[in-house]
Amino acid sequence: MTGTSRGGGHGTEARDGSLPRLEHEGLPQRVVFASGEAAARVRAEVERLGASRVMVIAAAAEAGLARAVTAGLPVALRWDEVVMHVPVEVAERARAAAAVHRADVLLSVGGGSTTGLAKAIALTTGLPIVAVPTTYAGSEATSVWGVTERARKATGVDARVLPRSVVYDATLTVSLPVPMSVASGLNALAHCVDAMWGPRADPIDRVLAGEGIRALAAGLPAVAVDPAGLPGREQTLYGTYLAAVAFSSAGSGLHHKICHVLGGRYDLPHAQTHAVLLPYVLAFNAPFAPQAERRIAAAFGAGSAVDGLERLRRDVDAPRALRDHGVTETELDDAVPAVLDALPQGNPRPVTGADVRRLLRAAWRGADPRRTNTEEERRR
Residue 346 covered by a domain: yes
Residue 21 covered by a domain: no
Residue 5 covered by a domain: no
161 and 285 together in one domain: no
The last residue of a domain, from among 108, 133, 168: 168
Residue 270 covered by a domain: yes
Q: Can you give the pLDDT of all 380 residues of the chain as single tens digits?
A: 333 333 334 444 555 556 677 787 767 899 999 999 999 999 999 999 999 999 999 999 999 999 999 999 999 999 999 998 899 999 999 999 999 999 999 999 999 999 999 999 999 999 999 999 999 999 999 998 999 888 787 888 899 999 999 999 999 999 999 999 999 999 999 999 999 999 999 999 999 999 999 999 999 999 999 999 999 999 999 999 999 999 999 999 999 999 989 988 998 998 999 999 999 999 999 999 999 999 999 999 999 999 999 999 999 999 999 999 989 998 999 999 999 999 999 999 999 999 999 999 999 999 999 887 544 444 44
Residue 1 covered by a domain: no
Residue type, 358: R
162 and 195 together in one domain: no
Would the CA dihedral through 174, 175, 179, 185 be positive or negative?
negative
Contact 222, 229 (CB under 8 A): yes
Domain with 108 in it: 37-168
Residue 315 covered by a domain: yes
pLDDT of residue 370: 86
233 and 317 together in one domain: yes
CATH number where 297 lies: 1.20.1090.10
Count Cβ atoms below 10 Å from residue 12 Cβ, excluding itself: 11
SS (H, E, C) the chain: CEEEEECCCCCCCCCCCCCCCCEEEEECCEEEECCCCHHHHHHHHHHHHCCCCEEEECCHHHHHHHHHHCCCCCEEEEECCCCCCCEHHHHHHHHHHHHHCCCCEEEEEECHHHHHHHHHHHHHHCCCEEEEECCCCCHHHCCEEEEEECCEEEEEECHHHCCCEEEECHHHHCCCCHHHHHHHHHHHHHHHHHHHHCCCCCHHHHHHHHHHHHHHHHHHHHHHHCCCCHHHHHHHHHHHHHHHHHHHHHCCCHHHHHHHHHHHHHCCCHHHHHHHHHHHHHHHHHHHCHHHHHHHHHHHCCCCHHHHHHHHHHHHCCCCCHHHHCCCHHHHHHHHHHHHHCCCCCCCCCCCHHHHHHHHHHHHHCCCHHHHHHHHHHHC
pLDDT of residue 374: 47
pLDDT of residue 7: 35
The last residue of a domain, from among 115, 136, 168: 168
208 and 298 together in one domain: yes
232 and 130 together in one domain: no
153 and 185 together in one domain: no
328 and 190 together in one domain: yes
138 and 218 together in one domain: no
Residue 174 covered by a domain: no
126 and 209 together in one domain: no
**Terminal CA-to-CA distance of the chain, rounded, Å?**
44
Long-range interactions of 61-64: CB distance < 8 A, separation 24+ = 62/109, 62/110, 62/114, 62/134
The last residue of a domain, from among 128, 149, 168: 168
246 and 323 together in one domain: yes
Chain CA centroid to CA 105, Å = 23
Would the CA dihedral through 283, 272, 69, 47 be positive or negative?
positive
Tally of domains in the chain: 2
158 and 216 together in one domain: no
CATH number where 96 lies: 3.40.50.1970
162 and 192 together in one domain: no
Chain CA centroid to CA 114, Å = 13
Residue 335 covered by a domain: yes
